[in-house]
Chain A
């Protein structure tokens, strides 16, 4: 079946602009995660959704970052007033949502470049 998809694959924007990154999880997966991966680093946890609600948003770096999942499927990560330091690959993953034993399945990522 279809895996996790993310759009766009690449996004180039200017400092101060607003961007939206989209994630389509695997059908039937109730848990959805966003991570940020900087060059040479492992994925850094940002936020986790169980259904429509953000169950853990402790990884969001500041209030410029916000994520929604209004219908419990597709999720959008929103970044306001982008800064050059926001440049990274943003990864989305989904899982069945049964608990901590879940295996997360990752999308290909969106590469964000802030000029």
Chain B
């Protein structure tokens, strides 16, 4: 069965510092991996995805994520955090082997960027 773990409920970082939001996954086959962000009273917004190819994926708002197959991780990163990045971040996975449409989300990590 597919599963996603986001080990940190909250990540605190000072504005201008680099940030990392962690995600590990478990699938029986090869994964498709996604990151979404949720702002208060708004729907989930797509940030980036890994399908195949280069392990470093670049996405919206300066975010990037690195796929590490041996560690089954897909951590979200940004070189310099902004206060406006404060939001709830979700990692998600689809198992290619099961046909790929069912998506499993992690429990979310709240990012707090302090000015």
Contact = CB atoms under 8 A, between A and B. Distances in A.
The secondary-structure label for the interface of chain A is loop
Interface residues of B, number: 25
A60 to B, nearest CB: 12
A100 B33 CA distance: 10
Given A100-B96, A100-B100, A101-B100, A106 B43 contact: yes
Given A42-B108, A101-B51, A103-B49, A56 B102 contact: yes
27 contacts: A3-B43, A33-B101, A35-B105, A40-B108, A41-B107, A42-B106, A42-B107, A43-B44, A45-B103, A45-B104, A45-B105, A48-B101, A55-B101, A58-B102, A59-B102, A93-B44, A99-B100, A100-B32, A100-B96, A100-B101, A103-B34, A103-B46, A104-B46, A105-B46, A106-B44, A107-B43, A108-B42
Given A50-B101, A55-B101, 18 more contacts: A33-B101, A40-B107, A41-B107, A43-B90, A43-B105, A44-B105, A45-B102, A56-B99, A58-B102, A91-B43, A93-B44, A100-B94, A101-B32, A101-B49, A102-B101, A104-B103, A106-B44, A108-B43
